Amino acid sequence: MENLAMGNYGVYVWSCFGLTLAVVIFSDWRARLRHKRVYRDIEVRIKALEERQ
Amino acid sequence: MNESIAQQPGIFSGLWATARRDLLLAWKRPGDVLNPLFFFAMVCTLFPLAVGPSAAQLEFSGPGVLWVAALLATLLSLNSLFLGDFEDGSLDQLLVSPQPLPVLALGKTLAHWLTSGLPLVLVSPILAMTYRMPWSVVPVMMLTLVLGTISLSLLGSIGAALTVGLHRGTALLSLLILPLAMPVLLLGANTVSLAAGNDIYSTGIWALGAYAIASLSLAPYATAAALRISNE
Amino acid sequence: MWKFFHQLASPPHFYRLAAVFSPWFALPGIALIAYGVYAGLFLAPMDYQQGDAFRIIYVHVPSAYLSLMAYMIMAISGGIGLIWRIKLSHAVAAAAAPLGAAFTFVALVTGSIWGRPMWGTWWEWGDPRLTSELILLFLYFGYMALRSAIDDTAKADKASAVLALVGVVNVVIVHFSVEWWSSLHQGQTLLKKGGPAMDPGMLYPLLAMILGFTFLFGSLLLRRVRTEVLFRERRTRWVREMVLSPEGS
C-alpha cells in the first residue's frame, strides 16, 4: 500500500487532485442546475400562455 | 474613355480621405491628442514615486516602464477611435460607402497612429532621459515604439470596433486588447533591455516588424467585420 | 451519413441526440480517469528529480490541454457559425467558454501548487507555460465579457466569434513570445514535465487521463450546448410542444 503522504509532498498532490475533482463536479452541477432553471422558466411561461387561451 | 478611368476614385482614395478627416478633427481638438500624452508622462512619473528614485533601479526598469506607459496611453486613446463617428452618424456613412470598408478602417487607424502613436514616440526620448537611458539605446527604444504602436493601433481598432457603443465599452476594450497587446509589450520592452545590456537585439526588431506587417495585412479586415457586426 | 450531420444541426434533433450521446462520453471518461488516477497516484514509479510531487502532472497536463482545446473549439465553431451561419455552432462556442475558463483556472492553480515545492515560490513569471496560460484566462474573460455586454444574441455571437478568431492567432504568438522572453531571463527554472524521457509506467496513466478528461469534457459540453439550444429556441414551436407533452427535460 502506497504511502499516502507521498513523501512529504502529500499536501500539494492531494490538493491538486482535490481541486480538479471539485471543479469537475462543480461544472457538472452548475450545468445541470442551469438546465433545470431554463427548462422550468420556459415551462412556466408556456403553461401560463396556455391557461389564457 | 481615358478621362472617365482617370476620374474613378482609386482604391486608396478612401483611405486618405478618412485619414485626412480624422486628422483635421484632431487638429481642432488638440486635447484628444494631448491627453494620452500627458497620461504617458504621468505614468512614467508614478513608478519612481512608488518604488523610489534609485538610479540603478530606474535604469533597469526604464524600458519596461516606458513601454507599459505607452501601452496604457494607447489604450486610452483607442476609446475614441470610432466613438465620435458612432455618435454623430458618420459611422453609418462609412458603412454604406462604396469604398471597401477595410480601407476606410485602415485610414482611421492611420490617423489614430499619427495622433497617438507618433507623438508618443517623439516624446519618449525626454522621458527616457529621466530614466537615465543611455543615448545609444534611445533610438532602439524609439524604433520599438514605432513598430509597436503601429501594431497596437491596428489591433486596438479591432477591439474598438467590437465595443463601439457598448455600455461600459471602455473597460471592456481594455480587457479585450490587453491579451492581444502582451506579445508586443514583451517584444518591445525586452528588445530595449537587450540593447541596454549591449546584447544582440535584432531578433526583437525583426519580430516587432513582422508583427506590425501581419497586423497591417489582417487587422483592417477584422476591424471591418467587427464594425459591420456592431452596427447592423 | 450526411443526413445525420444535417439533422444534427437542427436544434430539436440535436436536443434529443445530445441527451442520448452524453452517457457515451461521460462513462468512458470517468472510467479512464479512474484508471488514470489510481495508476498515476499509486502505480507509477517515483520521479528521480521531483519525487512524488510530479504526480500533479496527472491533473495539470490534462487541464492545460483542455484549456487549449476548448479555446480551439470556441474559435472554430464561432468561425463556422460566422461563415456558414449555423446557429448550433454559435451555441457550441458559447457553451465551451465557461468550461474552457474553468480548466484554465485549474491548470493555473495546479501549476502554481506544483511550482511551490519545485521552485520554492507560488508563482514563477519565468515559466512560459504558466504566463501563457494566464493570458489565455484573460482571453476567456474578455470573450465572456463581450458576450454578456451585447444584448442581442445574434450580434453577440458574431462579435465574440470575431474576437475568438483574432485570439486564436494570438494564442500561438503569445506562447512563442513568452518562451523567448523567459529564455532571456531565466533559463534554468523551466519546469521539465516528468524528466527527460517518460517511463511507460508514468506515461500510460497520463495518456489515460488526457483521453478521459477529453471524453468528460465532451459530455459536459454536450450538456451545456443542450441547455444553450433550449434557451435560444425557447420561443419556437418545437420547444412549446415538447414542454407541453407529458415528458421531461
- H or E element that contains C248: none
Q: Identify whether C9 is part of a domain.
A: no
- Judged by a CB distance cut-off of 8 A, whether residue C171 touches chain B is no
pLDDT of residue C195: 47
d(CA C76, CA C92): 10
Q: Is C16 a member of any domain? A: no
Single-letter amino acid code for the residue at B226: A
- Residue C244 within a domain: no
Q: What is the pLDDT of residues C38-57, one digit of tens each?
A: 988 888 887 777 778 888 99
What the block records as the C-alpha cell of C42 is: 499509486
User: Of residues C7 and B80, which shows the higher confidence score?
Assistant: B80
> Does pLDDT of B1 surpass 60?
no
Q: Which of A2, A16, A24 is facing C56, going by the closest CB pair?
A: A16
Q: Which residue range forms the structural domain that includes residue A50?
A: 25-53
Which of these ranges, B37-51, B65-79, C33-47, has the smallest mean pLDDT? C33-47
Dihedrals phi, psi of C186, to nearest 5 degrees: -120, -70
Report yes or no on C3 lying in a domain. Answer: no
Q: What pLDDT does B5 receive?
A: 58
Q: Residue B4: its pLDDT value, please? A: 59
* Stronger pLDDT, B216 or C121, i.e. the higher one: B216
Query: Which residues of chain C have a CB within 8 Å of the CB of B155?
Result: 166
C78 phi, psi to nearest 5 deg:
-65, -40
- Amino acid found at B216: L
**Domains held by chain A: number:** 1
Nearest residue, CB atoms, B226 vs list C159, C177, C178: C159
Q: Which of C145, C158, C166 sits opposite B158 (nearest CB)?
A: C166
Position C209 pLDDT exceeds 70:
yes
In a domain, C185, yes or no: yes
Counting as contact any 3 or more CB pairs under 8 A, the partners of B are C
**Mind listing the pLDDT tens digit for each residue in A8-31?**
778 888 999 999 999 999 999 999
Structurally, chain C folds into a number of domains equal to 1
Q: Which carries the bigger pLDDT value, residue C163 or residue B7? A: C163
Please determine, for residue C230, whether its predicted confidence score (pLDDT) is greater than 80.
Answer: yes
Helix (H) or strand (E) holding C86: none
Residue % of chain C over a pLDDT of 90:
62
Q: What is the ipTM of this complex?
A: 0.88
Which residues in C lie closer than 8 A to residue B172 (C-beta atoms)? 142, 145-146, 149
Give, as one character, the DSSP assignment of residue C55. Answer: G
Alpha-carbon distance values, A53 to B52, C237, C238, C241, C248 (Å): 75, 16, 19, 15, 23
How many CB atoms are located within 10 Å of the residue C30 CB?
A: 15
Is there a domain that residue B137 lies in? yes
Structural domain boundaries, residue B91: 12-230
Rounded Cα–Cα distance for residues C78 and C96 (Å)? 10
Task: Find the domain containing C209 and state its range.
Answer: 22-238
Interchain proximity C139–B190, CB inside 8 Å: no
Q: Which chain C positions have a beta carbon within 8 Å of B207's beta carbon?
A: 177, 180
* Lookup result for grid cell 518591445: B188
Provide φ and ψ at B209, rounded to 5°: -65, -45
What local confidence, expressed as pLDDT, does residue B38 receive? 94
State the chains in contact with A (3 or more Cβ–Cβ pairs under 8 Å): C
User: What is the value of pTM for the model shown?
Assistant: 0.89
Of C55, C220, C231, the CB nearest to A6: C55
> For residue A20, is it within any domain?
no
- C162·B222 Cβ contact <8 A: yes
Interface test mutation site (partner C, options A21, A26, A39, max chain C beta carbons within 10 A): A39
| Chain B contact for C167 (CB, 8 A cutoff) | yes
Residue-wise pLDDT for C179-205, tens only, equals 888 777 765 444 555 444 577 788 889
